[in-house]
Amino acid sequence: MDNELHIVGIQTDLFWEDPTKNLAFFEEKINSLPINTDIVVLPEMFTTGFTMNPEKNAEKIDGISVCWMQKIAIKKKLAITGSLVIEKNNKYYNMLIFAHPSGKIETYVKRHSFTFAGENTVYTSGEEKLIITYKGWKICPLICYDLRFPVWARNIENYDLLIFMANWPVKRIKAWELLLKARSIENLCYTIGVNRTGIDANKYSYSGNSLIIDYLGTEISNLPKNEIGVVSATIDRKNQDKIRKKLGFLNDMDSFTVTRSK
């Protein structure tokens, strides 16, 4: 069990629907990271950009990109996570992969499809929340539009770290920053949000604005808009646990059951 984790998010433009170039870029960036890195967080759909062409871009769970993540995790002795387009049983998913240093993978399917862009018409939404145990930390990974739905992120599992990966457009970037801080405050947890930069093939513009925030909503690391680079911090669970015990806010949550909206 580690009381500290060194987390890194890679903020960058993405090569449109070109996994080979994207994987090569990220591998170069990861190879330059400090050896004490524990977790690397990549943007949403990091191999393609936010594509609505899954029939052209989908991979299998044992395909090139997931195998690449496992290879990197084993070689660098760290965890790596990001989402990509996965096909299973003739359905397409915006699926988050969390690769452990052992090569083991865990998966989460984006629950809230971004209907404004038609994501719900081509991708199947997820039904289950994932809580990962890594180096004694409990981690809740979520994807982009999930950020707008606090009930789904609600900390009923007593998790320690929220991870959000996104292709969040610059037009709504203020909401990105405010909602990340809100999720941290209401759940008394560290949060990392990793967003992409650049302009995609659909002419949507992204500014990044990736952040790492503590359990009280204070920014502890950030990247300026449009910058290609890393956001990183060493987070300390002892401090978080001390504040949770002192304030007791999580003990006062209302109890209710979440059901899937129709």
Q: Where are the alpha helices (DSSP H) in 77-205?
A: 119-122, 150-153, 173-187
57: helix, strand or coil: helix
Paired sense of beta strands 137-143 and 161-166, if any: parallel
Question: Which residues are part of the catalytic machinery?
Answer: 44, 110, 144
Question: What are the percentages of helix, strand and coil residues in the chain, rounded to 5?
Answer: 30, 30, 40
Determine contact, residues 2/133, Cβ cutoff 8 Å: no
Query: What radius of gyration, in Å, describes the C-alpha atoms of the chain?
Result: 17
CA separation (Å) from 175 to 74, 148, 171, 191? 36, 9, 9, 15
